[in-house]
Every structure is written in C-alpha cells, then in structure tokens.
Amino acid sequence: MKKSIYSKKQNWKIVLAASALLIVFASVWYTNILADKIAREEKQKVKLWAQATERKANLVRYTNELFNRLKNEERKKVELWAEATRRLVSSSENSDFTFVLKVVTENNSVPVILADEKGNVISYRNLDSTRTDESGYIKEQMALMKSMQEPIEIRISEHKTNYLYYKDSRLFSELKQVLDDLIKSFISEVVENSASVPVIFTDSTRSNVIAYGNVKEKEVSSAAALQRTLEDMESSNPPITIEIGNGQKNYIFYKESYLLRQLKYYPFIQFGVIGLFLLIAYTLFSTARKAEQNQVWIGMAKETAHQLGTPLSSLIAWVEVLKEKGMYEEAHEVEKDVRRLETITERFSKIGSLPVLKKENLAMVLEESINYLKSRTPSRIIYTLEVDRDIMVPINVPLFEWVIENLVRNAVDAMEAEGEIRIKANDQQQFVYLDITDTGKGITRNKFRTVFQPGFTTKRRGWGLGLSLAKRIIENYHEGKIFVKSSEQGKGTTFRIVLNKKMM
C-alpha cells in the first residue's frame, strides 16, 4: 500500500501530539518542583510559628504563676496585719507594741476595712481618701471586698470577733490588668499572626472555641462542624498544648494554609488547563483545515463538472452523426455512456450545494445502478439483490448511485474480478439498513475506520477518495451512517448504510 500525504500527515500529528505532551509534562514537573519547594518553606514557617507560640504560651504561664505568687504574698501580708491588729487590741498595757505598731503602720498599699461581728466599721486603711467622706462609700467597699476575698477573722476574746476585709492593692490590680491584656494579646496573636494558617484556640474540653482565625464561619458554626474541623486539623498536625495558668490545658489546632493546598493541586489543574487549551486549539485548527479541504473539494468538483460540459456537448453531436449514418446500435451504446457522463457531471455539480432529497423506490434505484454496472464489470461477478419493492426512502438519486457505484467497484477490485456481490435491505420502520457484501480479500479490524479516510487505498493507481466521498454523501447529505459492519480475511467484507426514512 503506497503512503499518501494523509498518512504522512497522520504521522506528523502523532509527532506534534507527543511533543505537546512532552512540553506539558515538563511544565507540570517543573511547576510541581516549585510547588513542593514553596510548600516546604511554608511548613517551615508554620513550624517556627508553632514553636514561637509554645514559647510565648510558656511566658504567659510563667507570668501568671508570678502573679499568683504575688497574690499569695499580699494575702500573707494582710494576715500578718490582721494578727498585729489582734495583738494590739487584746494585749495588756505593759506589752511592747513597737513591732506590732510597725506592722500596722507600714501597710501603705493593701486596702483594708476592720469591722465587728455586726458589720460596723471600726477602722479602715488605704482607701480612696477623696471619697471616704461620701455616704455609703466605705460600706460599698466592704461589700466589694467581701465578694472578692474571704475576710480574715480576728478573735479578740472568747465572745468577741472582728473581721478584716481587704482587696488587691492598686499596684497588684494594675499588674493583674497587664496580665489579662497579655493573655488577650497572646490569643489575638495566635489567630492573627499564624502565617495564613487556619487556627482554632479551644479550652480543655476541645468543644468551646476561645478564638479562631483563617477559618470559615460555617466550619465552627455548630458542634458537629467544629468536631469535623478539629479532627481534620489534628490529622494534619498534632495540636499545641498550652497552660496559661488557670490550672487547665488549652489547645491550639492548626493545619496547612489554603494556599498550600492550592499549590498541591496546582500542577494537576495546570495540566488540565494546558490539555484543554491544546484540545481546543487542535479542534479549531482541524475544523479550519476541514473547511479549507471542503472548499478545495467543492472547487475541484465544480470545475470538473464545468470541464466535462464541453466534450459532452460534442459527444451528443457525434451521436446524432452516427444515427444519420445508420449506425444505430453503436449510437445507442455511445448514448448510454453519454447519459452516464451527464449523471457524473450532475454529481460533481451538486457537491457543495444542499441536494434535494425525494422519496424514491429503493429497489428500483438499486436495480438501475446494478444493471448499468453489470455491463461494465467482469462477467464472473455475480450480483444478488434482496430488496423489497415497497421500500421508499428520501434520497438524491445521482449522489446515492455514486455511493453504490464506489462500493461495488471496490468490491470488484477486492474480489479480483471473480466472486459474488450481495445487496440486501432490511426495513426497520424509521431506518433502512442496506448491507453490501462481497467475497473478496477482506479488511483487517484495525482498518475499519481508516478505509474512509481520504488517501487510503490498496490500489497502485488509486487516489483513495471513493469511500471518503461515499461517507460524505451518506452522512453530510443524507444524514445517515456508513461503516464496515463485518469483515474476515479471505472471505469478504460487508458495508452497511443506514438511511433515515423520516428525514426530509
């Protein structure tokens, strides 16, 4: 089989497709390397962030512990002051009050109120001096102190007990405020400075969210959603356990950023986009090429029809000359060939134009075509026609006969001028199935589609256009189908034509 330009073009397509795939894979491979590199860098940043968060949490915890120690020291100071007050009240006149008075007078920071059992104020110290004259101020402060700290009992005698109320000193309160601000700042920094990493800060139960950042609202909107989100985060990274100082452990859950997840899938998205672009580009170029080929086909066909017009007119004149000379038999044979040439001219002239389809008797059209071909094919070819006389289908007779002629001539060549051609029609209401079977050499299965491509031929002098034209006529003009139904090496081939009876 000789190699046509279409076969070479197919090889070039394969080479170009392989080159395009190589470029795509190289691009995806390099992009994947870059994505992995960026992912490693982000993971390193997240790791550093996690370590910094743990250190800051330890600092907050240590600060909290320091404040608790200061608080305990302040209570001890108040208890010492209370004991000094008790001794000062209950001691005899001969006692040495130097140390006791020193303890009492040196309390210049802790606000205290001394009251009896009935809540009557005996004395007070380190309250706001600008408000002590206000009515109810001292009672208000005593109630506040009672709500904040358990009062210290000062037993004066067996039947008499005083109570010492106190609250945190101004210095301690200010430091406590600093601690609270530090804790709030720590939580805020955890969720805001997390390198774009989704973060959820929970209490010890892992069910109450203290703060979160870079997380969608719906992911923490319900207990079930929160649980799924936390499980997802924990599967990526173990949570950071911290203890700020309240005796309970808190947890910081985090996972890789949305950007990092995008980078993981980016190479595949890129591959899909490039592949889609190549597919669209190939489709567009293929469509443009087919349109250009169609224009060439149409131009060649119409030019052929035009060129055949002049010799046909001359041949018709010569037929009349033969008749005038009494050569009626010769003139009749020549006239049949002239009519055939006129049919061929009509076929070529219809290419590129929308043909008119009319309902025709399929058996009669096939009989006329076969009768013409019988006299122009070897006598050892046997024709068998099995078509019902009442099958009517919408066809364009000149073009449809062209299809039959191409199939029959190919069958004759495949049988090497000896064998049987059987044409059988099967009426299935909406469709008619027309099978054309020969007893020739057969076609290998991998060539079932290839035989309809322009340029495919097994003949030394063939152009490989017959089956391609047949496919165009059946599918483009008659909206039907033509394909190789079956074939067996050395036994023959069956082509099937599907015609739509209701298509008009």
Taking 50 as the threshold, does the pLDDT of residue 469 lie above it? yes
Name, in order, each residue with C-beta under 8 angstroms of 394's C-beta and a sequence gap of 6 or more: 357, 358, 359, 360, 478, 499, 500, 501, 503, 504
At 99 the pLDDT is 44
Regarding pTM above 0.85, the answer is no
- Name which residue leads in pLDDT, 23 or 220: 220
d(CA 209, CA 225): 12
- At 402, the pLDDT band (50, 70, 90 cuts) reads confident
- At 487, the pLDDT band (50, 70, 90 cuts) reads very high
Taking 70 as the threshold, does the pLDDT of residue 301 lie above it? no
Short-list 238, 248, 250, CA closest to 203: 250
- pLDDT, one tens digit per residue, over 364-394 is 999 988 988 888 888 899 999 999 988 999 9
d(CA 115, CA 122): 5
At 2 the pLDDT is 45
- pLDDT, one tens digit per residue, over 228-271 is 999 988 888 888 887 765 566 788 888 877 777 777 677 777 77
Instruction: State the average pLDDT for the chain.
Output: 77
At 47 the pLDDT is 67
- Most confident listed range (240-249, 316-325, 353-362, 383-392): 383-392
At 279 the pLDDT is 82
Q: Which of 224-228, 286-290, 422-426 has the lowest mean pLDDT?
A: 286-290
d(CA 338, CA 350): 18
Taking 60 as the threshold, does the pLDDT of residue 93 lie above it? no
What is residue 416's DSSP assignment? T
At 466 the pLDDT is 77
The pair of three-digit structure tokens given for residue 31, joined into one six-digit string: 């992009």
Taking 90 as the threshold, does the pLDDT of residue 499 lie above it? yes
* H-run or E-run covering 173: helix 170-192
d(CA 255, CA 369): 77
At 461 the pLDDT is 53
